[in-house]
């Protein structure tokens, strides 16, 4: 069944990318874009740059690249800015993160040196392990939000960007549950004036972005745009949101493997996961309050994939444990180790063990790129813009945001089908169901 093509404005002019948190992930993302623009590297891991999409029947052999099928911004049109509590430029931040080889880093050094972090909105109560001098000060959180809005407008003017996207690449904040201050936009704005302690820095950034009509992607597990107040603002301003928590190492493996176990109706007794990493993220997560936020994000994945309430004989009361250990010598090269106890025919036990030696920022950088380009597409597409939450981008997140009362879809392959069908839908193409019976008529 074909649909009517959605009204999508063209991707004209520069696209400004504003990033709270110019650390390892952000600088790897920016440096990678600069290297790809210079034809010094390939955009491996990026669906928008390397992925193809099937259109119509298999016999039609129509498989364009996604970037040729939908009107995405070009990499040459991206301009970058952001905030950080540390004062060094993006070259210094990238060198300190030690993700990229010095030789590659030197080739993009001038572009990175040109990006200086604006003073950040920061609250030590939310990230206890980091200390930096480059922070904003204001009489209350409303003043801080207004200062961020000024930064956004100034960046747009100085960079010449026609459109903007904000993507959080900052640290994981201390765990919070939604409260009264988050229940409506009016309550939230009163909370800003009253310095409510339950309004986190990430919420202030999101509020500032949405007030300026700028879409917001949340790359951390922080409670941010899924609160009613900011969802209300997102829809009112036509500024799409998505999140949360980039799906990179261990959770990526879970969303690949768990759907396979469920598809074969193999039972699960327990899944033990531990990580060691030594970057800034690892240091922040060494604090129990920040770890709690990450733990909630990582634990929810298996529960939603296995649906134990529907398959109690296979998945009821499976034991799931997640550990993150800060180990400075490892730097950004994270090791994720999983022990999985499963059972099969007649209840006989089996085991799977995974040792994933990954590079967190290398896995996160193409996610950041795709989210920037797809959120910009959503902003220019009237049908998607009006939805607020962009659930079709769940493919990229550990804890996808959904409307209240709707459980998130965590199966990576269902997420990819949803993403591609959304692109087909807005371009008026037939949705792919993979039924295939028509080939045998």
> Whole-angstrom Cα distance, residue 235 to residue 245?
22
Task: Share the mean pLDDT of the chain.
Answer: 95
Question: What are 404's two structure tokens?
Answer: 């209240």
In this predicted structure, the answer to whether residue 20 has a pLDDT above a threshold of 80 is yes
Lowest mean pLDDT among 314-318, 324-328, 429-433: 324-328
- Residues 25, 82 contacting (CB under 8 angstroms): no
How many Å apart are CA 414 and CA 101, to the nearest integer? 36
- 64-114 residue pLDDT tens: 999 999 999 999 999 999 999 999 999 999 999 999 999 999 999 999 999
Flag whether pLDDT at 226 surpasses 60.
Answer: yes
Cα–Cα distance for residue pair 345/307, rounded to 1 Å = 20
Range with the poorest average pLDDT among 150-159, 260-269, 401-410: 401-410
pLDDT (tens digit per residue) in 36-52 = 999 999 999 999 999 99
Q: Is 198 exposed, middle or buried (0-12, 13-18, 19+ CB in 10 A)?
A: middle
Length in residues, the chain: 441
| Region 250-359: CATH code | 3.30.360.10
According to the model, what pLDDT value does residue 332 have?
Answer: 83
What per-residue confidence (pLDDT) applies to 1? 55
Note whether 174 and 126 are within 8 A (CB).
yes
Provide the pLDDT for residue 413.
95
Give the model confidence (pLDDT) of 362-384 as tens digits: 999 999 999 999 999 999 999 99
What pLDDT, on a 0 to 100 scale, did the predictor assign at position 2? 55
Q: What are phi and psi of 301, to 5 degrees?
A: -60, -55
pLDDT of residue 267: 98
**Percent of the chain having pLDDT more than 70?**
99
Q: Which of 412, 327, 364 is nearest to 32 (CA)?
A: 364
pLDDT in tens, 246-270: 999 899 999 999 999 999 999 999 9
Q: Report residue 219's pLDDT band, with 50, 70 and 90 as the boundaries.
A: very high
Tell me what pLDDT residue 299 has. Answer: 77
**Full 3-state SS string of the chain:** CCCCCCCECCCCCEEEEEEECCCHHHHHHHHHHHHHHCCCCCCCCCHHHHCECCECCHHHCECCEHHHHCCCCCHHHEEEEEEECCCCCHHHHHHHHCCCCHHHHHHCHHHHHCCCCEEECCCCCCCCCCCCCCECCCCCHHHHHHHHHHHHHHHHHHHCEEEEEEEECCCCCCCCCCCHHHCCHHHHHHHHHCCCCCCCHHHHHHHHHHHCCCCEEECCCCCCCCCHHHHHHHHHHCCCEEECCECCCHHHHHHHHHHHHHHCCCEEEEEEEEEEECCHHHHHHCCHHHHHHHHHHHHHHHHHHHCCCCCHHHHCCCEEEEEEEECHHHCCEEEEEEEEEEECHHHCEEEEEEEEEEEHHHHHHHHHHHHHHHHHHHHHEHHHHCCCECHHHHHHECCCCCCCCCCCCCCHHHHHHHHHHHHHHHCCCCCCCCCCHHHHC
Give the CATH class of 14-246+362-426. Answer: alpha beta
The answer, yes or no, to whether residue 194 has pLDDT greater than 70, is: yes
* Pairing status of strand 333-343 against strand 349-359: antiparallel
312's CB contacts (< 8 A; 6+ apart) are: none
What are the angstrom distances between the C-alpha of 3 and each of 424, 425, 430? 9, 6, 7
Can you give the pLDDT at residue 279?
Answer: 78
Contact 334, 359 (CB under 8 A): yes
pLDDT surpasses 70 at 53:
yes
Parse the chain into domains and list their residue ranges: 14-246+362-426, 250-359
d(CA 27, CA 19): 10
What pLDDT shows up at residue 296?
79
What's the CA gap between 357 and 276, in Å, rounded?
A: 10
């Amino acid at each position: 069944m074909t649909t009517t093509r959605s009204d999508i404005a063209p991707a004209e002019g520069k696209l400004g990318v504003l990033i709270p948190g110019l650390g390892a992930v952000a600088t790897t993302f920016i440096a990678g874009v600069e290297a790809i623009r210079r034809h010094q590297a390939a955009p491996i891991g990026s669906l928008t740059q390397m992925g193809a999409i099937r259109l119509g029947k298999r016999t039609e052999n129509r498989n364009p690249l996604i970037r040729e099928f939908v009107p995405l911004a070009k990499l040459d049109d991206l301009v970058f800015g952001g905030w950080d509590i540390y004062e060094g430029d993006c070259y210094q931040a990238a060198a300190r993160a030690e993700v990229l080889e010095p030789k590659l880093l030197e080739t993009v050094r001038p572009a990175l040196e040109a990006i200086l972090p604006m003073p950040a909105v920061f609250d030590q109560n939310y990230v206890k392990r980091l200390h930096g001098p480059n922070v904003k000060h204001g009489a209350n959180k409303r003043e801080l939000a207004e200062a961020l809005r000024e930064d956004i407008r100034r960046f747009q003017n100085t960079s010449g960007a026609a459109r903007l996207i904000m993507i959080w690449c900052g640290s994981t904040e201390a765990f919070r549950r939604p409260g009264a201050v988050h229940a409506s936009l009016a309550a939230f704005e009163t909370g800003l004036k009253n310095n409510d302690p339950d309004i986190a820095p990430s919420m202030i950034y999101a509020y500032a972005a949405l007030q300026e009509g700028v879409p917001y992607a949340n790359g951390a597990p922080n409670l941010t745009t899924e609160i009613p107040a900011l969802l209300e603002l997102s829809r009112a301003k036509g500024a799409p949101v998505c999140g949360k928590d980039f799906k990179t190492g261990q959770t990526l493996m879970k969303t690949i493997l768990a759907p396979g176990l469920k598809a074969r109706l193999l039972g699960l007794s327990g899944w033990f996961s531990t990580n060691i990493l030594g970057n800034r993220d690892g240091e922040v997560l060494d604090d129990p309050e920040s770890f709690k936020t990450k733990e909630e994000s990582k634990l929810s994945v298996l529960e939603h994939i296995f649906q134990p309430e529907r398959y109690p004989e296979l998945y009821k009361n499976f034991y799931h444990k997640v550990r993150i250990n800060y180990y400075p010598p490892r730097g950004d090269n994270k090791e994720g180790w999983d022990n999985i106890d499963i059972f099969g025919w007649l209840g006989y036990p089996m085991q799977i063990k995974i040792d994933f030696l990954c590079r967190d920022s290398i896995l996160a950088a193409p996610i950041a790129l795709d989210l920037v380009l797809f959120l910009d597409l959503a902003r220019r597409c009237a049908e998607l813009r009006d939805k607020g939450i962009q659930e079709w981008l769940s493919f990229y997140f550990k804890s996808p945001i959904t409307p209240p009362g709707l459980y998130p879809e965590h199966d990576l392959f269902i997420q990819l089908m949803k993403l591609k069908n959304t692109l087909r839908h807005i371009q008026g193409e037939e949705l792919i169901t993979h039924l295939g019976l028509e080939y045998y008529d």
